[in-house]
Amino acid sequence: MNTLNRVVQLLVVLSITACGGGGGGGGGSDSGYGGGNTNTNNPPKINNTVFNISVVENQTSAFTVNAEDPDGNTITYSISGTDASLFGISMTGVVTFNNAPDFESPSDSDTNNVYELTARVSDGTLSDSKNFTVTVTDDTSDNSTSASYDGTYIGAGPIQSATVCIEVTAGTCSGATTATTAQDGTFSLTVDSSVTGVLRGEGGFDPVTNLQFSEGDSLALSQPVTDQSFVVSPISSMMNEYNKSTDYDTFKTKLGLDSSFMIRFNNPFSNLDNSIQNKAAVVNTQLVVLNEVLKGVYSFSSDSPGNTLAKSLVNRSSSETSLGDTTFIKDMLTSLSEDTDFAPTSDQLIDLSAGISAYMQKINANSSNAHSHFAKAGVSELKTLMASVMDGTASSTAIDKLVFNTIDWINQDTSWDGGTITDNEADMTTTTYTLSNNASSNYIVDNVNARSTEFIIYVKEGDVVKFDAASSVTSGHPFKISTQQNATSTDAGEIGTAEGWNKDTLTLTVSSSTPDTLYPYCDFHNNMYASGKIVKVSSFEQAKIDVTSASGALQIKGTVSTGPFKGASGYTHKVYLTRQNTDDHTHTFHEYPGLTFYMPGAQGFHGAENSTSDEMFKAKSHYVADSSGNGGSGGGGGDGY
C-alpha cells in the first residue's frame, strides 16, 4: 500500500474513534463501555443544629427531626435510647411525648427532667442518627403554694398531742392534712394554700393532770390566719358553734373580758399574773367544765353544748357577766327544757343550778395550775353528781356540801390533786368595819360612838371581822381586844393569834378557840370602846339586828340558801329585815343562819359580782342614818330576779 492510502486509513480510524464507535451520543452509560460514571446511593442526613431542647411541662410537643436524602429517596424516622419509650415520632419526623410531662413528677430514667433519646433517619439502605436531650421546665402557673398555720391549742391550759387540721369535712379532721400539738399546746400546720376554712382540733390531753380528751372533744376557730400565731380555745370554739360568729366585742362584753383582750391571739395562760389574762383563763376553764356537765345532764342531738352556752350568753339581758351566775345557769338549763326529753322538776332545776354555779364560782387560775385540776374534777365528779340529780340518785347532803362548802366537797369528794385551794370567795365571810376616833374620847365604829352606845358586833365561827383604820388612828390609840372590858394599859385578858386576833392587820378570824365575848380597847386611853363588844353566836336573832336607822334597802354579801336561787353567791340587792309589802318573798342566807330577809317582787338581784350603793348588811346592833358599810368585793356572781 502506498503512502497515501495509509494516511487515509489512519484518518478514518481516528474519525470513528472520535464518533464513539459508530453510533450513539457521547457521555457515560450503564453499559460500561468506554470510561463512563457508575450509579451510586448517597445516605440521608439530619440537618438539626440544636440537640439540647427545652420544653415547658404539661405539653406533648418535643422537637422535629430535620432530615433530607440527597438522592431524593424516601426517608423513614425512628427513635431509640434511654428514654425513647416515652416518645413517639411521626412519618415527617415530629417527636412528641406519649404523655405530657409533669415537672413536679418527672418520668425520665434518672428523674431529673432531662430526657435522653437518639433520632435515626434511613432511606432503607443508608442512615444517619443524632443524640438529643429534651429538658422539661417548670410551668409556674400550675404550681401549688403552701400555707402555714401556727397557733396554740388550749382548754384549761395547754392541750398536748391533739390533732389539728383545716376542716375538709365540717366538724371533723377526717380526710384533712393534720399536725399534732406539743406539750405547750403549740402547733404548725402546713397545707395547700387553696385549703381554707375552720381550724379544728381533736383529742389530746392536759399534761398537768393527764386528763384525756376523746376525738369528740374538739375545739375550733372559724378565722385562722397565716400572718401571725393564733389561739384555739373554748371561747373561740363556742363562737364557732354559734354560726361561726366573729362578733368578738359582743362575746367579750357578755363574758366580762377586757376589751383589750384578743380572743384569737392572746394565750391567757401565758401570764396569769395579769388580771386581764387571768380572767380569760378562768372563763376558758369554766367553759371546759360547763360543756361536759351539760353533756352529763342532757343528750344533745341537733344542738350542741357550745351553741347552747353561746345563745344563753347573747340572750342575757342583765349586765351580769359571771359564768357562775345562778340565774344564768338556771336560764340556760331552762332553755334546754324546750326539748320534751329534758324536763327536770323544780327541785332538780334548783339543785342543778345551785351545784353548777357553786363550782363555777370557785374556779380560779394560778401558777400552780389550779385551772387544770378544777377542769379535771369538774368534767368527772361534778358531771357525775349533776347527772345523778337528773336520775334521782343524788343525796341532799352531797348537794348542800357542794353548794355551801364547795372547797370541802372538792377536797374530800373528788380526785383533786392540786394542793391547797385558794378560795376566791374568801371575803364572803369577811365583814369590814370602819374605825376612827374622836381624839382620846372614843372610837367611832361604822359611825357609831362605841363609848356611849351599846354597840354589839355579832359573829359566828368562820366569820372574819376586819377593822379598817388609818395609821394615824392606831398609832395614837393602839387597838387591842381583851376578854375583859376596858382592859386599857393593863392588857388584862388580851387575846392574840391563838384566839384568832391579828393585831397588825386588825383582823379577827372567829374559830372554836375564840372566846364568846370580846372587848376592844385602846392601849393608851380608858373607855374609848366602853359600851361596845363582840359576841359570838351560833345563829343570829332577828330582833337583835337593828336596821331601823338604815336609809333604804340593804344588800347582803353571801350565798342564798333556799328557794329557786339557791346557790347564788355574791351580792344580793334590795332586801330588808322587815316585811315591806304583803307580797314580799323571803330569802335566807347560808352565812346568816336564823335571819330571814324580805324582797319586794321584781326588785331583787341575787348573787351579783359587784356591790351597789345599797346599805351593806352587817350583823350588828346599831346602824345610824349616815352609816356607810364597807364590804369589799363579792364572790361568784348572780343576776336579776
Q: What does the pLDDT read at residue 302?
A: 78
Average pLDDT along the chain: 89
Give the class (CATH, top level) of 426-536. Answer: mainly beta
Span between the terminal Cα atoms of the chain, in Å:
168
Backbone angles phi, psi at 513, to 5 degrees: -85, -5
Range of weakest confidence among 29-43, 359-373, 458-472, 474-488: 29-43
Region of poorest pLDDT, from 265-279, 288-302, 376-390: 288-302
Pick the CATH number of 146-232 from 1.10.10, 1.10.357, 1.10.4160, 2.60.40: 2.60.40
Classify 169 as helix, strand or coil. strand
Q: What is the mean pLDDT of residues 437-443?
A: 94
Here the cell at position 300 is 344533745
Domain ranges of the chain: 45-141, 146-232, 270-413, 426-536
CB-based contact 376:424 (threshold 8 Å) = no
Residue 67 has pLDDT above 60, yes or no: yes
pLDDT at 633: 30
582: left (phi over 0), alpha (psi -120 to 50) or beta: alpha
Q: Is pLDDT at 4 greater than 60 in this prediction?
A: no
Q: Tell me the chain's radius of gyration from C-alpha atoms.
A: 48
On the question of pLDDT at 31 being above 80, the answer is no
Task: Calculate mean pLDDT across residues 592-605.
Answer: 88
C-alpha cell at 307: 351553741
Please give the pLDDT value at position 549: 64
Q: What is the pLDDT of residue 550?
A: 60
Helix intervals (H) in 380-426: 383-391, 396-404, 406-413
**pLDDT-based confidence at residue 629 (cuts at 50, 70, 90):** very low
Segment 105-123 mean pLDDT: 96
Joined together, the cell numbers standing for residue 634 give: 363579792
Cβ atoms of residues 149 and 114 within 8 Å? no
**Range 361-379 average pLDDT:** 97
* Cβ neighbours of residue 113 closer than 8 Å, sequence gap 6 or more: 101, 103, 106, 135, 136, 137
Widest distance between CA atoms in the chain: 197
For residues 284-309, give the mean pLDDT: 93
Residues in CB range of 6: below 8 A, 6 or more apart: none
| Contact between residue 142 and residue 61 where contact means Cβ atoms under 8 Å apart | no
Provide the 3-class DSSP secondary structure of residue 216.
coil
DSSP string, 71-123: T----EEEEESTTGGGEEE-TT-EEEESS---TTS--STTSSSEEEEEEEEE-
**CA dist 73 → 78, 390, 404 (Å):** 16, 100, 110
The pTM score is: 0.75
Cα–Cα distance measured from residue 66 to residue 68, given in angstroms and rounded to the nearest whole number: 7
Q: Can you tell me the mean pLDDT for 620-627?
A: 71
Which of 511-515, 544-548, 574-578 is least confident? Answer: 544-548
Grid cell 353533756 is found at 295
How far, in Å, CA of 97 to CA of 149, rounded?
Answer: 40
Examine the pLDDT at 1 and tell me if it is beyond 50: no
* C-alpha span between 528 and 531 (Å, rounded): 9
Question: What is the SS3 assignment for 204?
Answer: coil
Do residues 232 and 153 lie in contact, with contact meaning Cβ atoms separated by under 8 Å?
A: yes
Which amino acid is it at 114? V
* pLDDT tier at 551, thresholds 50, 70, 90: low
CATH class for the domain made up of 45-141: mainly beta
Q: Are strands 533-536 and 517-522 parallel, antiparallel or unpaired?
A: antiparallel
As given in the structure block, the three cell numbers for residue 439 are: 381624839
Say whether 146-232 and 45-141 share the same fold.
Answer: yes
Angle between helices 346-362 and 396-404 (to 10 degrees): 40
Specify the DSSP element, H or E, that contains 153: strand 146-153
Residue 384 contacts residue 377 (beta carbons within 8 Å): no
Q: In what order do the strands lie in the sheet with 430-438?
A: 448-449, 442-445, 430-438, 464-469, 507-509, 501-502
DSSP 524: S
- Model confidence at 641: pLDDT above 80: no
Encode pLDDT of 209-258 as tens digits. Answer: 999 998 889 999 999 999 999 999 999 999 999 999 999 999 999 999 99
- pLDDT bin (cut points 50, 70, 90) of residue 17 is very low
Distance CA 634, CA 556 (A): 10
Decide if 599 contacts 563 (C-beta within 8 A): no
Identify the pLDDT of residue 32: 35
Tell me how far the alpha carbon of residue 410 is from its chain's centroid. Answer: 25
Confidence of residue 3 (pLDDT cuts 50, 70, 90): very low
Q: What percent of the chain has pLDDT over 70?
A: 90
- Return d(Cα 231, Cα 213) in angstroms, integer: 18
Q: What is the pLDDT of residues 301-323, one digit of tens each?
A: 778 999 999 999 999 988 899 99
How many CA atoms are closer than 13 Å to the CA of 349, on its beta-carbon side? 19
